Amino acid sequence: MTTAMPLGAAENTEDEDEYEAVRAKVAARFTNPLDLPKEIFADEVIYREELRRIFNGPYWHPVAHLAELPEPGSFKTTWLGGVPLLVSRGQDGVVRAFVNTCTHRGTMLEQRASGVAAEFECPYHRWLFDNQGCFRGAPGQRDFRADFTPDDYALPTLRVEQLAGLVFVTRSPQAPSLTEFLGEAASPLGDCMLDDGRLTLLGYQKVVYRTNWKTYFDNDFYHAPLLHTGFRMLGWQGGSGKVIITQPVGHLCVEYQSRRYVDNGYLADTSVVEFRGDDDRARVVALRPVTVVTKHLDTINVRFARPLGVDRTEVHYAFFGHEGDTPEYAEHRVRQASNLLGPSGFITIEDAAVFSRVQKTSGDDGYQRFVKGADRPLEQATQNDELANTIGWAHYREVMGFDR
C-alpha cells in the first residue's frame, strides 16, 4: 500500500537561512514522532515554508467538482495557498485551471466566485482572454513592443487531472500522477462522490476557523463521539468500520454505518436531523494536505480549504445532490447539510470552538500529543484512535526537513 511520491522541492529561496535556523530548532524538539512541538502551528517562518513546500509542492489539490462547471464557459475562482486560481470549462468542454492574473500588469482577472463567461476582460487596460486561457486582443495593440507575441501572454496554466468528477491541480512539475498520489484513497473517493457523473451542485457555505490549517485538517476520529453532540444524539460511537491510510502521504479513508436519529432527548424537533435515504454506509475521505470529502446522512460534501495565514483557515463547504433526487429529497439534503455542517452546523460549531482553543495555546512551547492507539502497527488501526494521524505527520516532518 505504498504511494511513492517525490518530496518537497529543493530550490533555494531568499528565506533559506531564516528557515534553516527555525528548522534546526524544531527538528531538535521532535524527540518523539508522536509528539508535535506546538510552534509548528504558530510560527510565521514555518507557515511560509509550508506554502512553498506543500501548497506549491508536489501535492494534488482538489479545486472543483464537474457539477460546479456544468456547461462550456462555466468558471469558478478559488485559491491554492496564496495563489488565486481561475478554473474554467472552455468552449471545447475541457476543464482547465489558470493563475487568476492578467498577464499584463498582474490585476486579478476574475473576481466573481463563479459564473458563465466566454471571455475574461481585465478592467485595467481592457485586455481580453478567452475561456481557454488564450490572449484575444488589447486596445492599442499595434503599438506594442516589437517582441510582443500573443502566445507568450496566455494565462499561466496549472497541471490538471480528474478523478470521480473532482478536478485536481498542482503547480509542481515534480508531482507524481494523481493516481499515484491518491493510492488506495482513489476508490473510496469515487464511492464518496457516487462516481456516476450525475452529481448536482446544491450550494456553498463558508467558514473561517481561527486555527492553523493543520489543526483544522487533523481532526482525529477519537474526538468525534466525545466532542460532538451531533454524533451523540445519533448514538454513533465509532467502531470497527473500514479504515485505509495511504503511505507515505497519509490520506485517510473511513467507512462506517450511519445511524438514524432516535428520540433520545437531544432535539425538541426531531426533524432537525432526519435520515431519509437508504444508503447507511457513511464515508469520510481526508486528502492531505487539506481537503475533506464526506458522504453521510443524506449529505454529499466537499470541503475545499485554504490557509489564510498561520492562524486562520477558510473552508468552502460545497454541497451536492444527485440528478435522480426528487425535489423534496434535494430540499431535505440542503436542510440536513446546513444542520450538520457549515456556519450553523452542529458538527462545525463544536469543531470551531475547539480549534480556536487549541490555537490559543500554541505559543506555550509545549506539545500536541497523539496517544490513543498511536503506537499500534498500521494494520491494527481502528476508527477511533489517533494512529491514522501519525502517518501524515511522519510525511510532514520529512517534507519540512524536521526529521532528526
Cβ(270)–Cβ(258) under 8 Å? no
Cβ(166)–Cβ(186) under 8 Å? no
Distance CA(391)–CA(385), nearest Å, equals 13
Residue 368's CB is within 10 A of a number of other CB atoms, namely 19
316's contact among Fe ion, ligand FES, none, with CB below 5 to 8 A by partner kind, is: none
* Residue 148 interacts with ligand FES (CB under 6 A): yes or no: no
Q: Number of residues interacting with ligand FES: please give it, by CB under 6 A.
A: 8
Q: Name which of 170 and 219 has its Cβ closer to Fe ion.
A: 219
Q: Name which of 218 and 351 has its Cβ closer to Fe ion.
A: 351
* Residue 86 interacts with ligand FES (CB under 6 A): yes or no: no
Residue 213's CB is within 10 A of a number of other CB atoms, namely 27
399's contact among Fe ion, ligand FES, none, with CB below 5 to 8 A by partner kind, is: none
Please work out, in degrees rounded to the nearest 5, the angle formed at the alpha carbon of residue 355 by the alpha carbons of 352 and 359: 140
Cβ(225)–Cβ(231) under 8 Å? yes
Looking at residues 112 to 141 of the shown chain, list those that interact with ligand FES (rule: CB under 6 A).
122, 124-125, 127
Give me 364's grid cell: 506555550
Looking at residues 230 to 259 of the shown chain, list those that interact with ligand FES (rule: CB under 6 A).
none
Q: Name which of 122 and 282 has its Cβ closer to ligand FES.
A: 122
At closest approach, how far in Å is the CB of 252 from Fe ion? 13
Distance of CA 336 to the CA centre of its chain: 22
* Contacting range for Fe ion; rule: CB under 5 A; set: 55-63, 67-75, 128-136, 217-225: 217-225
Helices (H) and strands (E) counted in the chain, each on its own, are 10, 19
At closest approach, how far in Å is the CB of 205 from Fe ion? 16
Distance CA(96)–CA(212), nearest Å, equals 30
* Residue 219 interacts with Fe ion (CB under 5 A): yes or no: yes
Q: What is the 3-state secondary structure (H, E, C) of 305-368?
A: EEEEECCEEEEEEEEEEECCCCHHHHHHHHHHHHHHCCCCCHHHHHHHHHHHHHHHCCCCCCEE
Rounded to 5 degrees, φ, ψ at 219 are -80, 90
Nearest residue to Fe ion, using CB?
A: 351
* Residue 105 interacts with ligand FES (CB under 6 A): yes or no: yes
Residue 182's CB is within 10 A of a number of other CB atoms, namely 26
Q: Name the residue type at position 289.
A: P
At closest approach, how far in Å is the CB of 105 from ligand FES? 4
* Residue 102 interacts with ligand FES (CB under 6 A): yes or no: yes
Q: Name which of 66 and 102 has its Cβ closer to ligand FES.
A: 102
Q: Name which of 144 and 180 has its Cβ closer to ligand FES.
A: 144
* Contacting range for Fe ion; rule: CB under 5 A; set: 10-18, 44-52, 171-179, 213-221: 213-221
Looking at residues 294 to 353 of the shown chain, list those that interact with Fe ion (rule: CB under 5 A).
351
Footprint on this chain of Fe ion (rule: CB under 5 A): 219, 351
Residue numbers at the binding site for ligand FES (CB under 6 A): 102, 104-105, 107, 122, 124-125, 127
